[in-house]
């Protein structure tokens, strides 16, 4: 059985009410939202285990001589990043207002601890990761590059995923598999209701639909290596301070 009316948080709740034979007064909305988000995160983690790039986004920034930050070559990382995959920069495009994709260079990502002698200039295109920002080298503020370069910096990153909070919020997983969240939620609800019949059906359907969703995710992309090499494979950096992979 596949539930079709699960496009948003309200739809998830309505399906739960119907299958569990309960109504909105059975559980508090806070409790129900918490249960739903537990299984929403499990569904996301399952997809991420197949290919985390399903949750990848691209942020851009202008390449300028002085960012106005603590250091002139310090650029902020996206506020919603979970993991940085790659950073590219177009130092010298033919048209500074419209750099071509072929004019970007991949930066070597390293941690501050990799710099043994701060007095030595870094000449290889490099991003030194701090915490929520990075230092760009060669330093544009000391160069003769024609600046600014519109969208001269591209950041490929895995985004943090927000909980479902408002009834209009749409789960960020494949739309045909939103019912995975419903069946998972019904496991917890069946336990709280003391309903072994519902518990058995929900557990079985959750396992089945999770497997089908993972199979679907695995078939979405051919067996190719990622077009964006992880930053840590380039420079030995794993995760920035205080961050961790959701998987």
Asked if residue 3 has pLDDT above 70, the reply is: no
Give pLDDT, residue 220: 83
- The pLDDT confidence band at residue 221, using thresholds 50, 70 and 90, is confident
- The pLDDT confidence band at residue 69, using thresholds 50, 70 and 90, is confident
Asked if residue 108 has pLDDT above 80, the reply is: yes
10-39 pLDDT tens trace: 999 999 999 999 999 999 999 999 999 999
Give pLDDT, residue 210: 98
- Mean pLDDT computed over 203-232: 79
CB atoms within 10 A of CB 138: 17
Asked if residue 45 has pLDDT above 80, the reply is: yes
Cα–Cα distance for residue pair 238/31, rounded to 1 Å: 35
Asked if residue 156 has pLDDT above 80, the reply is: yes
Q: What does the domain layout of the chain look like in residue ranges?
A: 9-52+162-218, 55-160+226-235
- The pLDDT confidence band at residue 158, using thresholds 50, 70 and 90, is very high
Asked if residue 118 has pLDDT above 60, the reply is: yes
Asked if residue 2 has pLDDT above 70, the reply is: no
Enumerate residues 6+ apart whose C-beta is below 8 A from 205: 1, 183
């Amino acid at each position: 059985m596949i539930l079709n009316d699960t496009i948003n948080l309200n739809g998830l709740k309505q399906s739960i009410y119907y299958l569990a034979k309960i109504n909105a007064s059975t559980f508090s909305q806070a409790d129900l939202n918490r249960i739903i988000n537990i299984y929403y995160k499990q569904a996301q983690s399952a997809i991420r285990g197949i290919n985390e790039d399903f949750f990848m986004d691209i942020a851009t920034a202008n390449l300028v001589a002085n960012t106005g930050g603590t250091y002139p070559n310090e650029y902020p990382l996206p506020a919603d990043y979970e993991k940085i995959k790659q950073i590219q920069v177009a130092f010298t495009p033919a048209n500074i207002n419209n750099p071509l994709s072929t004019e970007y260079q991949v930066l070597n990502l390293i941690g501050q601890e990799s710099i043994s002698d701060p007095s030595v200039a870094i000449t290889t295109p490099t991003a030194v990761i701090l915490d929520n920002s990075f230092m760009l080298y060669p330093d544009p503020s000391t160069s003769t590059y024609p600046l600014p370069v519109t969208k001269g910096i591209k950041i490929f990153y895995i985004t943090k995923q927000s909980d479902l909070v408002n009834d209009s919020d749409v789960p960020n997983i494949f739309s045909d598999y939103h019912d995975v969240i419903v069946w998972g939620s019904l496991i917890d609800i069946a336990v709280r209701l003391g309903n072994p019949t519902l518990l058995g059906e929900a557990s079985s359907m959750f396992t089945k639909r999770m497997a089908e969703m993972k199979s679907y995710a695995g078939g979405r992309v051919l067996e190719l290596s990622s077009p964006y090499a992880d930053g840590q494979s380039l420079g030995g950096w794993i995760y920035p301070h205080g961050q961790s992979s959701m998987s």
